[in-house]
């Protein structure tokens, strides 16, 4: 459990540092670009910010069909961007269930060790 927790901790720190750098890059390049397409192209391939921007661009290009005529373009793009943000947040939360499980069971493992030690001390 300890090794798994340390692994998740280190990978989360690395992910957060990368994400922070990509956020700075997105602020510097995307918002100063001439168009949304140019701004998305200026972002690093594989970046979550590029994924969100590409999702918005694809939503504007694929707003068609009978059902979508009832949904205005603004709502359609907003829903697509929100789904992309949710996917990124889900990816960032990988491993947190393991940490929650370890955190909730650790006191009981420690208590068991204490009881086991006292038992052996009394029998000796």
Q: What whole-number distance in Å separates Cα of residue 24 and Cα of residue 71? A: 34
What was the pLDDT predicted at 66? 47
pLDDT at 23 over 60: yes
pLDDT at 116 over 90: yes
Asked whether 30 and 38 are in contact (CB, 8 A), the reply is no
pLDDT tens track for 71-102: 788 888 899 999 999 999 999 998 889 989 98
Predicted confidence band at 50 (pLDDT cuts at 50, 70, 90)?
very high
Q: What whole-number distance in Å separates Cα of residue 2 and Cα of residue 99? A: 10
pLDDT at 69 over 80: no
pTM > 0.85: yes or no: no
What was the pLDDT predicted at 65? 60
> Residue holding tokens 């059902």?
67
Q: What whole-number distance in Å separates Cα of residue 62 and Cα of residue 58? A: 6
pLDDT at 63 over 90: no
């Amino acid at each position: 459990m300890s090794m798994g927790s340390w692994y998740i901790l280190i990978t989360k720190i690395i992910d957060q540092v990368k994400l922070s750098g990509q956020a700075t890059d997105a602020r510097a390049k995307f918002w100063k670009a001439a168009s949304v397409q140019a701004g998305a192209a200026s972002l690093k391939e594989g970046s979550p910010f590029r994924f969100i921007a590409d999702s918005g661009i694809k939503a504007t290009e694929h707003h068609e069909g009978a059902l979508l005529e009832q949904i205005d373009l603004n709502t359609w793009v907003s829903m697509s961007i929100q789904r992309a943000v949710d996917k990124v947040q889900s990816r960032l939360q990988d491993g947190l269930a393991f940490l929650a499980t370890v955190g909730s069971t650790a006191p009981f493992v420690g208590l068991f060790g204490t009881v086991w030690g006292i038992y052996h001390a009394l029998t000796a």
